[in-house]
A = this chain, B = another copy of it.
Protein backbone atom coordinates (compact mmCIF):
# COMPACT_ATOMS: atom_id res chain seq x y z
CA UNK A 1 0.00 0.00 0.00
CA UNK A 2 1.29 3.45 -0.86
CA UNK A 3 1.99 6.02 1.81
CA UNK A 4 -0.88 8.33 0.76
CA UNK A 5 -3.41 5.50 0.75
CA UNK A 6 -2.18 4.27 4.11
CA UNK A 7 -2.49 7.76 5.56
CA UNK A 8 -6.00 8.48 4.24
CA UNK A 9 -7.33 4.97 4.83
CA UNK A 10 -10.40 4.55 7.04
CA UNK A 11 -11.90 1.65 8.96
CA UNK A 12 -15.19 0.88 10.66
CA UNK A 13 -13.31 -0.53 13.63
CA UNK A 14 -12.67 1.91 16.46
CA UNK A 15 -9.12 2.13 17.80
CA UNK A 16 -8.62 0.52 21.21
CA UNK A 17 -9.58 3.37 23.53
CA UNK A 18 -11.29 3.31 26.90
CA UNK A 19 -14.84 1.92 26.73
CA UNK A 20 -16.44 5.17 27.77
CA UNK A 21 -14.77 7.10 25.01
CA UNK A 22 -15.50 4.54 22.35
CA UNK A 23 -19.23 4.77 23.02
CA UNK A 24 -19.20 8.43 22.03
CA UNK A 25 -17.55 7.69 18.71
CA UNK A 26 -19.56 6.87 15.64
CA UNK A 27 -18.14 7.15 12.18
CA UNK A 28 -15.06 5.96 10.35
CA UNK A 29 -11.67 5.73 11.98
CA UNK A 30 -8.25 6.64 10.68
CA UNK A 31 -4.80 7.38 11.97
CA UNK A 32 -2.54 10.28 11.03
CA UNK A 33 1.15 9.49 11.26
CA UNK A 34 4.02 11.95 11.47
CA UNK A 35 5.13 11.68 7.87
CA UNK A 36 2.72 14.25 6.41
CA UNK A 37 3.38 17.20 8.65
CA UNK A 38 4.06 20.84 7.93
CA UNK A 39 5.53 22.00 11.19
CA UNK A 40 3.43 20.39 13.96
CA UNK A 41 0.24 20.14 11.86
CA UNK A 42 -0.95 17.49 9.43
CA UNK A 43 -1.08 19.00 5.92
CA UNK A 44 -4.54 20.44 5.24
CA UNK A 45 -4.73 18.77 1.84
CA UNK A 46 -4.28 15.37 3.46
CA UNK A 47 -7.01 16.22 5.98
CA UNK A 48 -9.38 17.17 3.15
CA UNK A 49 -8.54 14.01 1.17
CA UNK A 50 -9.24 11.91 4.27
CA UNK A 51 -12.58 13.61 4.83
CA UNK A 52 -13.58 13.10 1.21
CA UNK A 53 -12.59 9.42 1.44
CA UNK A 54 -15.10 9.05 4.26
CA UNK A 55 -17.84 10.99 2.49
CA UNK A 56 -17.27 9.07 -0.74
CA UNK A 57 -17.62 5.75 1.12
CA UNK A 58 -20.88 6.90 2.71
CA UNK A 59 -22.22 8.18 -0.59
CA UNK A 60 -21.30 4.95 -2.36
CA UNK A 61 -23.17 3.01 0.31
CA UNK A 62 -26.19 5.29 -0.14
CA UNK A 63 -26.21 4.52 -3.87
CA UNK A 64 -25.15 7.96 -5.09
CA UNK A 65 -22.24 9.00 -7.28
CA UNK A 66 -19.16 9.18 -5.04
CA UNK A 67 -16.47 11.31 -6.72
CA UNK A 68 -16.17 14.87 -5.43
CA UNK A 69 -16.41 17.48 -8.18
CA UNK A 70 -16.50 20.42 -5.75
CA UNK A 71 -15.66 20.69 -2.06
CA UNK A 72 -15.23 23.47 0.49
CA UNK A 73 -13.66 23.23 3.92
CA UNK A 74 -13.07 25.22 7.09
CA UNK A 75 -10.53 24.28 9.74
CA UNK A 76 -11.62 25.03 13.34
CA UNK A 77 -8.32 23.52 14.52
CA UNK A 78 -5.09 22.02 13.21
CA UNK A 79 -4.93 18.23 12.87
CA UNK A 80 -2.09 16.44 14.68
CA UNK A 81 -0.65 12.92 14.48
CA UNK A 82 -2.94 10.36 16.11
CA UNK A 83 -6.39 8.79 15.65
CA UNK A 84 -9.02 10.60 13.62
CA UNK A 85 -12.77 10.17 13.48
CA UNK A 86 -14.55 10.93 10.19
CA UNK A 87 -18.30 11.58 10.28
CA UNK A 88 -19.85 11.73 6.82
CA UNK A 89 -23.37 13.02 6.25
CA UNK A 90 -25.27 12.17 3.08
CA UNK A 91 -27.49 15.20 2.47
CA UNK A 92 -29.01 14.40 -0.89
CA UNK A 93 -28.57 11.44 -3.22
CA UNK A 94 -29.22 12.30 -6.84
CA UNK A 95 -28.88 10.21 -9.96
CA UNK A 96 -26.21 12.49 -11.45
CA UNK A 97 -25.29 14.90 -8.61
CA UNK A 98 -25.21 14.23 -4.87
CA UNK A 99 -24.52 16.52 -1.92
CA UNK A 100 -22.94 15.81 1.42
CA UNK A 101 -21.01 17.10 4.38
CA UNK A 102 -18.28 15.60 6.52
CA UNK A 103 -16.55 16.37 9.80
CA UNK A 104 -13.12 15.22 10.87
CA UNK A 105 -12.51 15.06 14.62
CA UNK A 106 -9.68 14.21 16.98
CA UNK A 107 -9.70 13.55 20.71
CA UNK A 108 -7.85 16.33 22.50
CA UNK A 109 -8.07 14.55 25.86
CA UNK A 110 -11.52 15.91 26.76
CA UNK A 111 -13.39 14.20 23.93
CA UNK A 112 -13.77 14.71 20.20
CA UNK A 113 -12.85 18.16 18.85
CA UNK A 114 -13.65 19.16 15.28
CA UNK A 115 -10.60 19.79 13.08
CA UNK A 116 -12.30 20.21 9.71
CA UNK A 117 -15.82 20.62 8.35
CA UNK A 118 -16.51 20.19 4.66
CA UNK A 119 -19.42 20.40 2.25
CA UNK A 120 -19.13 18.69 -1.11
CA UNK A 121 -20.83 17.99 -4.41
CA UNK A 122 -20.30 14.49 -5.81
CA UNK A 123 -20.80 13.01 -9.26
CA UNK A 124 -19.33 10.54 -11.72
CA UNK A 125 -16.39 12.61 -12.93
CA UNK A 126 -16.11 10.49 -16.08
CA UNK A 127 -19.54 11.80 -17.10
CA UNK A 128 -18.65 15.42 -16.28
CA UNK A 129 -15.29 16.02 -17.94
CA UNK A 130 -16.08 15.74 -21.68
CA UNK A 131 -16.46 17.46 -24.05
CA UNK A 132 -13.78 20.03 -23.27
CA UNK A 133 -14.83 23.48 -24.50
CA UNK A 134 -12.10 25.63 -22.99
CA UNK A 135 -9.54 25.56 -20.20
CA UNK A 136 -6.75 27.57 -18.54
CA UNK A 137 -3.61 27.89 -20.70
CA UNK A 138 -0.84 25.49 -19.74
CA UNK A 139 2.05 27.42 -18.18
CA UNK A 140 5.46 27.11 -19.81
CA UNK A 141 7.80 25.25 -17.48
CA UNK A 142 11.29 23.84 -17.86
CA UNK A 143 11.18 20.01 -17.70
CA UNK A 144 11.33 18.53 -14.18
CA UNK A 145 15.03 17.71 -14.41
CA UNK A 146 15.78 21.41 -15.03
CA UNK A 147 13.65 22.54 -12.05
CA UNK A 148 14.70 22.97 -8.44
CA UNK A 149 13.96 20.24 -5.91
CA UNK A 150 11.73 21.86 -3.29
CA UNK A 151 13.53 20.45 -0.28
CA UNK A 152 16.68 22.15 -1.58
CA UNK A 153 14.86 25.46 -2.18
CA UNK A 154 13.38 25.30 1.30
CA UNK A 155 16.88 25.15 2.77
CA UNK A 156 16.86 25.33 6.56
CA UNK A 157 13.04 25.13 6.62
CA UNK A 158 13.03 21.68 4.97
CA UNK A 159 13.67 19.86 8.26
CA UNK A 160 10.40 21.23 9.68
CA UNK A 161 8.42 20.12 6.62
CA UNK A 162 8.20 16.34 6.96
CA UNK A 163 5.82 16.13 4.03
CA UNK A 164 8.59 17.05 1.58
CA UNK A 165 9.92 13.49 1.98
CA UNK A 166 6.62 12.15 0.60
CA UNK A 167 6.71 14.31 -2.49
CA UNK A 168 8.82 14.87 -5.55
CA UNK A 169 8.23 18.62 -5.90
CA UNK A 170 10.21 20.60 -8.50
CA UNK A 171 9.98 24.38 -8.70
CA UNK A 172 10.44 26.46 -11.84
CA UNK A 173 13.75 28.27 -11.22
CA UNK A 174 11.99 31.53 -12.21
CA UNK A 175 9.72 31.21 -9.16
CA UNK A 176 12.13 29.54 -6.72
CA UNK A 177 14.07 32.68 -5.80
CA UNK A 178 12.54 32.69 -2.33
CA UNK A 179 14.93 29.87 -1.48
CA UNK A 180 17.87 32.25 -1.73
CA UNK A 181 16.08 35.32 -0.36
CA UNK A 182 15.27 36.68 -3.82
CA UNK A 183 11.50 36.28 -4.33
CA UNK A 184 10.28 37.57 -7.69
CA UNK A 185 7.56 39.71 -6.12
CA UNK A 186 5.12 38.57 -8.83
CA UNK A 187 3.06 36.39 -6.51
CA UNK A 188 3.35 33.17 -8.49
CA UNK A 189 4.84 29.70 -7.97
CA UNK A 190 5.05 27.11 -10.73
CA UNK A 191 6.33 23.58 -10.69
CA UNK A 192 5.86 19.83 -11.04
CA UNK A 193 4.70 17.38 -8.41
CA UNK A 194 4.18 13.67 -7.87
CA UNK A 195 4.31 11.23 -4.97
CA UNK A 196 7.86 10.19 -4.02
CA UNK A 197 6.86 6.51 -3.85
CA UNK A 198 5.59 6.44 -7.43
CA UNK A 199 1.87 6.29 -6.64
CA UNK A 200 0.06 7.82 -9.60
CA UNK A 201 -2.29 10.78 -9.15
CA UNK A 202 -6.03 10.13 -9.12
CA UNK A 203 -9.26 11.83 -8.10
CA UNK A 204 -8.70 10.88 -4.45
CA UNK A 205 -5.30 12.56 -4.29
CA UNK A 206 -6.10 15.76 -6.24
CA UNK A 207 -7.56 17.53 -3.15
CA UNK A 208 -4.22 16.86 -1.46
CA UNK A 209 -2.13 18.12 -4.38
CA UNK A 210 -4.17 21.36 -4.46
CA UNK A 211 -2.71 22.18 -1.03
CA UNK A 212 0.74 20.60 -1.34
CA UNK A 213 2.92 23.51 -2.51
CA UNK A 214 4.64 26.12 -0.33
CA UNK A 215 2.46 29.23 0.22
CA UNK A 216 2.48 31.48 -2.87
CA UNK A 217 3.28 34.39 -0.54
CA UNK A 218 6.86 33.03 -0.33
CA UNK A 219 7.19 34.69 -3.75
CA UNK A 220 6.24 38.02 -2.11
CA UNK A 221 8.92 37.66 0.54
CA UNK A 222 6.49 36.62 3.28
CA UNK A 223 8.19 33.51 4.65
CA UNK A 224 5.89 32.96 7.61
CA UNK A 225 3.50 30.05 7.69
CA UNK A 226 0.15 30.78 5.96
CA UNK A 227 -2.76 29.16 7.84
CA UNK A 228 -5.75 28.31 5.66
CA UNK A 229 -9.05 29.79 6.82
CA UNK A 230 -11.29 28.44 4.09
CA UNK A 231 -10.55 26.25 1.08
CA UNK A 232 -12.63 25.52 -2.00
CA UNK A 233 -11.71 23.16 -4.83
CA UNK A 234 -13.13 21.90 -8.12
CA UNK A 235 -12.12 18.56 -9.66
CA UNK A 236 -12.68 18.64 -13.40
CA UNK A 237 -11.17 15.44 -14.84
CA UNK A 238 -9.51 12.19 -13.78
CA UNK A 239 -5.76 12.76 -14.09
CA UNK A 240 -3.59 10.71 -16.44
CA UNK A 241 -0.53 9.00 -14.90
CA UNK A 242 2.66 11.04 -14.65
CA UNK A 243 3.76 14.43 -13.41
CA UNK A 244 1.22 17.07 -12.39
CA UNK A 245 1.96 20.64 -13.47
CA UNK A 246 0.95 23.22 -10.85
CA UNK A 247 0.55 26.99 -10.85
CA UNK A 248 -0.17 29.06 -7.73
CA UNK A 249 -1.05 32.74 -7.90
CA UNK A 250 -2.25 35.45 -5.57
CA UNK A 251 -3.77 38.77 -6.58
CA UNK A 252 -5.54 40.19 -3.54
CA UNK A 253 -3.39 40.70 -0.46
CA UNK A 254 -4.83 42.98 2.25
CA UNK A 255 -5.42 43.11 5.98
CA UNK A 256 -3.27 40.07 6.72
CA UNK A 257 -5.27 37.89 4.34
CA UNK A 258 -4.67 36.68 0.80
CA UNK A 259 -6.32 34.37 -1.71
CA UNK A 260 -4.24 31.55 -3.16
CA UNK A 261 -5.44 30.19 -6.49
CA UNK A 262 -4.10 26.84 -7.64
CA UNK A 263 -4.55 25.15 -11.02
CA UNK A 264 -3.32 21.62 -11.79
CA UNK A 265 -2.75 20.14 -15.26
CA UNK A 266 -2.05 16.44 -15.77
CA UNK A 267 0.60 14.94 -18.06
CA UNK A 268 -1.72 15.34 -21.06
CA UNK A 269 -1.98 19.11 -20.34
CA UNK A 270 -5.58 18.79 -19.23
CA UNK A 271 -6.83 20.96 -16.33
CA UNK A 272 -7.80 18.38 -13.72
CA UNK A 273 -8.33 20.58 -10.64
CA UNK A 274 -8.37 24.13 -9.38
CA UNK A 275 -8.82 25.71 -5.99
CA UNK A 276 -8.98 28.97 -4.11
CA UNK A 277 -8.21 29.44 -0.45
CA UNK A 278 -8.31 32.39 1.91
CA UNK A 279 -5.30 32.28 4.21
CA UNK A 280 -3.47 34.45 6.69
CA UNK A 281 -0.17 36.18 5.96
CA UNK A 282 2.15 38.58 7.71
CA UNK A 283 3.57 40.74 4.95
CA UNK A 284 7.13 42.05 5.22
CA UNK A 285 7.16 45.75 6.09
CA UNK A 286 7.67 48.18 3.23
CA UNK A 287 4.10 49.08 2.31
CA UNK A 288 2.57 48.36 -1.09
CA UNK A 289 4.02 45.02 -2.18
Which A residues lie at the B interface, using CB under 8 A? 69-77, 91-92, 97, 99, 101, 114, 117-121, 127-136, 187, 220, 229-230, 232, 234, 236-237, 250-257, 259, 271, 274, 276, 278, 283, 287-289
Stoichiometry, as copies per complex, reads: 2
A250 CB to nearest B CB, Å: 8
Indicate whether A133 sits within 8 Å of B92 (C-beta atoms), given known contacts A236-B252, A259-B234. no
Instruction: Report, nearest first, the 10 A-B pairs whose CB atoms are least far apart.
Output: A72-B72, A232-B232, A70-B230, A128-B255, A133-B253, A76-B92, A133-B289, A129-B255, A132-B254, A70-B278
Supply 30 A–B pairs (Cβ within 8 Å), ascending by A: A69-B229, A70-B230, A70-B278, A71-B230, A74-B99, A74-B121, A91-B117, A117-B119, A119-B230, A121-B278, A128-B255, A128-B256, A131-B254, A132-B253, A133-B253, A133-B289, A134-B250, A134-B252, A134-B253, A135-B252, A230-B232, A232-B232, A232-B276, A234-B252, A234-B276, A234-B278, A236-B252, A236-B257, A259-B274, A276-B276
